[in-house]
Structure 1
Amino acid sequence: MSSPELLKTGAPSADGGGLHLAGTLRLLRNELRTLFRRSRTWAMLGALALIPILLAVALRVAGGTDAGRGPAFLDQITNNGLFVGVAAMTLAIPLFLPLTIAVTAGDSIAGEASHGTLRYLLIAPVGRIRLLWVKYLVAAAFAIAAALTIVVFGTLAGWALFPVGPLTLVSGTEVSVGEGLLRLLAVAAYAMVSLLGLTAIGLFLSTLTTVPVGAMAATAILAVAAQIVGSIPQLSALHPFLFTDRWLDFADLLRSPIVWDSFVDNALIQAAYVVLFFVAAIVRFTRRDVLS
């Protein structure tokens, strides 16, 4: 098959499932290496790490806050530093995490097109659909790194600046420090799952343009708009269908026993958005003429 036909159809240049898999894994490895070698990636992760650090320092200097004031769990930090990561996640999920995901996912396809490298990626034995999968997995990997960054640096900052001991859960039960750390990892996993739907939206928007900033901005605006809709009582009928509806329900992981309903419901919502927008991205990308 000639190169022009290859670029038009996205078909692989050689037969064999082994070659397809090897090409996909090689591309995934290269894309992950590229992502985590970028100064932009580490700048965003560094900015996310500053959220729990600044929060812990501010509370240490100010001497705490009154109960019920500020974001959830904020008033618990001075009693147990493990709550820094949870409180920081409450601050980061509505805005800061979506912004970083918008940058990563929005740049996935549009960035390659703007730099003139998209056509060369399609020559590899992966095809267009596999390329979309790789780009999505790379963006999802950043979501994992972003969520872990907040929880890990929050835990370290809390451990350094406040007393750390057995964790008193929302239900009033006290658990050991070890189990408390596992609960924090569960909170990070919840946040990562929450961002999967937005990642798929950003990937789809990235296939619509060759201007990465446009896809990034549109993704971030949709995240904010969905949360605004979710805060309007008159639109409550739409709330269960918003990808942001369950973003802040990770407190159920800090109960005894753990209430998994929110986690499952959130995962189902995100899965629906992933399927919907990934299919939309396939339809758009496979019909697109790649000239750059």
Structure 2
Amino acid sequence: MTTATAATSAPATGNTRGRDTVGVPRLLRAELRWIFRRPRTLVVLGLLAVIPIVLGLGLTLVDTTASGGGGDGREGGGAGANLLVSAAGNALVLPIAALMLTITLLLPLVAAMASADALAGETAHGTLRGWLLAPVSRGRLLTVKALGVAAVVLASVLLMSLTGIVTGLVINGSGSLFTLSGSTLSFGAALLKVALAAGWVALQLCAVGAIALAISAGTEHPMLVVASVLAGTIVFSILGILDSLSWLHPFLLTESWPAISDVLRDPVPGGDLAEGAVRAFCYIVIGLSIAYARLTTKDG
């Protein structure tokens, strides 16, 4: 049973008050069941869970075969390359390095897919009309859809973090939990840093999902939503490396994404992380506002 079916099965009172009789918890439970029963959702989550494992095994093989080389090759590869070098012998770095590598493309793609299915996909299949005719306000509809996208994002990030932690501990052991600043951490402190990184990445992806929901509310073609988010992420990344457009950089969502590596320092420099969180919150507000404005005018 889809969430639209769950909504339409609720009793209507025949007046305007009947449009708000379906509670958000009931709708959200139906939405989450529908989301996590989709085969493509399970496949995507499974593939994301494998990424830290493959990354850890690959780094172990590279570190083993190149152990006789000097340290000169470790210079000049950007923040991502430096994290990968550190992850080869540090159980703490591996899950955060996996998040940093995938936040540039794969994780935004997951958020876009979830948002595309939430509105454009249901419009294409005709099930969104059931929502709009049911005793559910447009605000509750958008709330449930946004929470569903957030659930997919959170599941993706947590799954990658969990497999990254386990893989890092299996390969490097619990005695290799140290920061990029050189300080050694306890297992609990290391978990706290990974949780901070995962929460920050999830917030960035929720911002991507909010913009994708705004696009999804205005079309019935899910692939258009995915393509738009993918193109936007690439364009933002390109604009972010152009010094001549430095005035535009504070407005780019992707500008603070490399700051995830700051979590691995001791103490954590929170300036870029806080700026990225505020920027993501602004994108969430803008995206959901546009989506709500579109839903309130949908089908009259």
Decide: shared fold, TM above 0.5: yes
Matched residue, 1:82: 92
Q: CA deviation at 1:12?
A: 9.1
What SS does the corresponding residue of 1:108 show, helix, strand or coil?
A: helix
TM-score (norm 1): 0.88
From 199, 207, 210, the equivalent of 1:197 is 207
Matched residue, 1:48: 48
Identity of aligned pairs, percent? 36
Equivalent-residue separation in structure 1 for 2:190 and 2:88 (angstroms): 16
Asked if 1:227 is matched to 2:237, the reply is yes
TM-score (norm 2): 0.86
After superposition, the C-alpha distances for 1:131-161 in whole angstroms (9 at most, x for unaligned) are 1121111101111111112111111111222
Q: CA deviation at 1:166?
A: 4.9
Greater helix proportion: 2
Structure 2 letter corresponding to 1:148: L
- For the aligned residue pairs, the C-alpha RMSD in angstroms reads 2.3
What are the residue-to-residue correspondences of 1:52-131 with 2, within 5 Å?
52-63=52-63, 66-68=73-75, 69=77, 71-131=81-141
Change in Cα spacing, 1:16 to 1:165, as seen in structure 2 (3 Å) is: farther
What SS does the corresponding residue of 2:255 show, helix, strand or coil?
A: coil
Equivalent-residue separation in structure 2 for 1:186 and 1:205 (angstroms): 29
Equivalent-residue separation in structure 2 for 1:13 and 1:77 (angstroms): 61
Asked if 1:37 is matched to 2:52, the reply is no
Q: CA deviation at 1:259?
A: 2.5
Q: Is the 8 A contact 1:166 1:177 kept in 2?
A: no
Matched residue, 1:170: 180
What are the residue-to-residue correspondences of 1:216-255 with 2, within 5 Å?
216-255=226-265
Relative to structure 2, which stretch is displaced further, 82-91 or 235-244? Answer: 82-91
Q: Is the 8 A contact 2:91 2:176 kept in 1?
A: no
Q: Is the 8 A contact 1:24 1:125 kept in 2?
A: no
Asked if 1:207 is matched to 2:217, the reply is yes
Q: CA deviation at 1:15?
A: 5.9
Change in Cα spacing, 1:235 to 1:227, as seen in structure 2 (3 Å) is: same
Unmatched 5+ stretches in structure 2: 1-7, 67-72
After superposition, the C-alpha distances for 1:26-47 in whole angstroms (9 at most, x for unaligned) are 1111111111111111111111
What SS does the corresponding residue of 1:288 show, helix, strand or coil?
A: coil
Structure 2 letter corresponding to 1:135: K
Matched residue, 1:156: 166
Q: CA deviation at 1:22?
A: 4.7
Equivalent-residue separation in structure 2 for 1:174 and 1:125 (angstroms): 56
Asked if 1:259 is matched to 2:280, the reply is no
Unmatched 5+ stretches in structure 1: 1-6
Structure 1 letter corresponding to 2:61: V
What are the residue-to-residue correspondences of 1:268-279 with 2, within 5 Å?
268-279=278-289
